[in-house]
Chains A and B, each alone.
Chain A
Amino acid sequence: MGVTIIQQFPMKENRTGAQIIEFLTKRVNALGAKQCGTFLVDCETYASIPQLGAQRTLHVFHNSEQPASVFAILDNGTGKTVPVVADALFDLLLLKMSSVYTSKKSKVEIRGPRFELNDFVIKIGAININHNVKGIIVEAEYRPCVVFGLCWDMLREFLQGFLGSCVSNIPPHYFQNRMNDIFQPLDTIQQYLDHITIYRKATGILQQYNTNTT
């Protein structure tokens, strides 16, 4: 597990998600990358029932890169989060807890092709919220390195190489206090959550894109 950065790619008004993925696939192939299957990250959100007091939100993630694990992030509404990494049995536990945590029925899925280029892994995925394409997310992983601070500049150069100027020169907000920590799979999930939250908040604007494009 190496350092992973997640970057969103802006939707163009006259293009569908599939077209953008195809466009980026061509660029990645031109770099010499080979496609190695597909990937899928899904997120389901649960809310605690009002009788429990202040509402807590529970985000449950699955990542095809770590197929045996379930990631759960509990948000108590005050900005404090509790992450849990568990076995796949956690899903069954959630069914038992359905009386306390009810599903919000807003499933988010990010799926698309997965590429390998030497030690880099590139994933280009369309983000689907309730089966509507909301945007394009690009994930780049550099497997030999485990500390974000050591390889951020290199990853930035790599992403800018095929995504262009949409990649910021400033490190992602999530990593500001974690520059010298050892990277863990949970860090990838946290980044996905940050991006999903942005897309959910900005639904109105993006909805316009989708009505034009799909």
Chain B
Amino acid sequence: MELNPMQVALNTVRTLRLELMQLIIEIGEGVKDDGSQTESKDNRYMYSMNEMVGKLGLHMRDLEQVVGSLSSPPGAMLLYNTSFLTQESTSDRQALYTPLVSSHKWLDKVHKFSSNAVQILSQNSLKKSYYNSSSNKKKRQQSSLHNISPQAVDVLLTNIDRMFPEMSITITRPCASNVVLLVGLSRVLQAIISFKGVMIEWVIVKGFNEPINPNSLQQELWQESRYYVFRKITDHANAAMLHFSSPTLPDLSVRSFMTWLNSYLILFNSVCKSCGNRLLNAYPPTWRDLRSLDTYHYECKP
């Protein structure tokens, strides 16, 4: 059985420590008086000491060999959010790290299983939604959803910011490393988007002239718009967020959602594709087709 070199090295260290301990115990006990000839007693003691020291030297060489074959660890390990556990002050929660790691392991397993399941299910032609993704993309190594470096999220979001000239994106991190995004869309609307890793968790849409305090976006997330039209769009945005959400391609889902949101640039001066009017029940066309981004009234949507 091929053992991990790290495991072998640890075992060698353990044996070495054991032998050294025995040697020290022997020395501590001194020459034992067992009733035999006095001159051979010293000799025997010397002999056993010699043997032990020899063994120690042998194991020391073993250890040096094993350690030489070890590769150096790949830089510092990033703990991301789990590093905040050290700030926990209650004593019964300080042991949380181990169960957390094991639960993450399970999550990774579930993730692997589910992406396998998606691959198998996608071969099935019975498709009920128009969810579609090419298979070569899926073979790419997926990063875990729950532990993504803040830099990677920043890069994704700044790329999206560059995609849409009319959209201004402000990244804030009011709670640990999770992003709360303030999006301004020209002079039409503002949106607050809360992320968990790269998954969108919640969206609130407000009017351009509604005051939003950028320093307390967490509180603003719970306050809905004072205008009916933006409350309706908030509902649509959450529905769209769930529609675009895809655990296997998280960055694509964020990009699709932002493209969809960008289509509200013409909220007030667009005509419903279905009825040809601008207003229905005193609402402009608030619904956007998820694929073609066509404008519809909610009541007219196909």
Contacts and interface: CB of A to CB of B under 8 A. Distances in A.
A157 B279 contact: yes
Interface residues of B, number: 18
Interface stretch (B51-59, B82-90, B211-219, B226-234): B226-234
A1 B207 CA distance: 11
Interface stretch (B105-113, B252-260, B281-289): B281-289
A151 B282 contact: no
A153 B269 contact: yes
Q: Is the interface of A mostly helix, strand, loop or mixed?
A: mixed
Chain A, interface size: which category? 20 to 34
A119 B228 contact: yes
Contact of A151 (B207, B228, B268, B277): B268
Contacts of A2: 209
Interface in A120-157: 120, 142-147, 150-154, 157
A143 B269 contact: no
A152 B228 CA distance: 19
A118 B229 contact: yes
A145 B228 contact: no
Given A119-B227, A161-B279, A150 B269 contact: yes
Given A1-B209, A146-B209, A157-B277, A118 B269 contact: no
A32 B268 contact: no
A182 interface: yes
A142 to B, nearest CB: 8
B208 interface: yes
B209 A157 contact: no
A143 B187 contact: no
Given A32-B281, A120-B282, A154-B268, A146 B227 contact: no
A11 to B, nearest CB: 27
Contacts of B279: 154, 157-158, 161
Contact of A182 (B187, B230, B277, B284): B187
A119 B229 contact: yes
B209 to A, nearest CB: 5
B282 A144 contact: no
Given A144-B229, A150-B269, A119 B187 contact: no
A86 interface: no
Contact of B227 (A144, A147, A157, A158): A144
B187 A144 contact: no
A167 B146 CA distance: 57
B24 interface: no
A144 B227 CA distance: 6
A119 B268 CA distance: 12
Contacts of B207: 143-144, 146
A41 B281 CA distance: 29
B236 interface: no
B102 to A, nearest CB: 50
A197 B217 CA distance: 47
B187 A147 contact: yes
B273 interface: no
14 contacts: A118-B283, A119-B282, A143-B227, A145-B208, A145-B268, A146-B207, A150-B187, A150-B268, A152-B269, A153-B269, A154-B268, A154-B279, A158-B279, A158-B282
Given A118-B228, A119-B227, A154-B268, 15 more contacts: A2-B209, A117-B282, A118-B229, A118-B281, A119-B228, A120-B282, A144-B207, A145-B188, A145-B268, A146-B209, A154-B269, A154-B279, A154-B284, A157-B277, A158-B282
5 closest cross-chain pairs (CB), A and B = A151-B268, A144-B227, A118-B282, A150-B268, A118-B228
